[in-house]
Amino acid sequence: MTTTNVSALRFWFLSAAALAVILWIFTPVLFPFLAGLTIAYFLEPAVCALEKRKVTRSWGALIVLSVFLFVVASILLMLWPMLSSQISHLIYALPDYAERLREHFMPWMEKWLPQISPEDFEKIRSSASQSTGDAVGLVSRTLQGILSRGAAVVDALILSVLAPVTAYYVLKDWHKLIRVIDSLIPRAHRAVITKQLAEIDQTLSGFVRGQGLVGLILGAYYATGLSLSGLEYGATIGIVSGALTIVPYMGTIFGWITSFILSFVQFEGDWAQIGPVMLVFIIGNFAETYVLTPKLVGSRVRLHPVWILFAIIAGIKLIGFTGALIAVPLASVAGVLARFGAEQYRASSLYK
């Protein structure tokens, strides 16, 4: 390897390390700007379509963003009274749900665990009751804190202001940003880097726009299906499950577990009533796996499910919920670069 190549590798490695450190330092304030960039990336095709119709970039960005915000605000205004009411009732109902769940399973444990002495079993019963109460109390306090504390209101206001402003300026100056990025690409490697950036763009657009549409469709389906099945708080669970679908597997896991527990307690173990609730998720999971994701997302992400799970868990561990949101896009970019590196390796004298 020549001295020039070594210097280039050192430069790119140090640049990537510096970017990672900057992202880690500014994680607490990163989410509104990431949300704005995501909105801009999602809406860019619509602005381009208006630009082709001789609408200026500034007006196109303003029109598209205004329509998007109007639709989102209208949906939130329609859903918020129901969501806030159901969430509040669910918070106060959690202790009762936990107690009913404990009462249902304790006789089963007493029947199937006869080898445990009565004294030890009583200790287990006491520990389980105390742990359940502590867990429910923690969840209740957390949810109540999220909904009521002043910091949450401030964060919501910051997000509602910074995200649209960021999205507008990114959409307005999209071509300028592209030119700036292009001007920084080393001229000798411009063709190769541009090709990789195009593949990264295709991968990210497939995920961001496709997964966003999948989440909207599933959210509407789950909310409707769970409500019709008679599940209490079904609309809220369905909407949250659809919103969490933007992170692969998270929406499905949340919906399955939450719906099963609530339906089991609500219907007192009656599988004739629990079945329709589970059927909603079976149909939704089938539609997501075999219809929606192949059609709207396709195979552009090109990541094995195991690596997707690894990326999500790593993102959560490193920088929390923001990490979960950006884990799959970053893993997709890393996948593109890894495939390019593998191609270069196979073409090198080292491989041959």
Q: What per-residue confidence (pLDDT) applies to 142?
A: 46
**CA 134 – CA 155 distance, rounded (Å):** 28
Q: What per-residue confidence (pLDDT) applies to 151?
A: 47
Percentage of the residues of the chain whose pLDDT score is greater than 70 = 73
- Of 176, 209, 210, 172, the C-alpha closest to 51 is 172
Of residues 30 and 63, more confidently modeled: 63
**Global pTM exceeds 0.85:** no
Q: What per-residue confidence (pLDDT) applies to 260?
A: 85
| Each residue's pLDDT tens digit, 67-122 | 999 998 888 888 777 777 777 777 777 677 666 666 666 565 555 555 555 555 55
Asked whether 195 and 51 are in contact (CB, 8 A), the reply is no
Q: What per-residue confidence (pLDDT) applies to 168?
A: 92
Q: What per-residue confidence (pLDDT) applies to 135?
A: 47
Of residues 156 and 235, more confidently modeled: 235
Residue 54, pLDDT > 70, answer yes
Of residues 3 and 17, more confidently modeled: 17
Residue 309, pLDDT > 80, answer no
Percentage of the residues of the chain whose pLDDT score is greater than 90 = 9
Q: What per-residue confidence (pLDDT) applies to 50?
A: 92
Residue range 185-212: mean pLDDT, rounded: 79
Q: What per-residue confidence (pLDDT) applies to 138?
A: 44
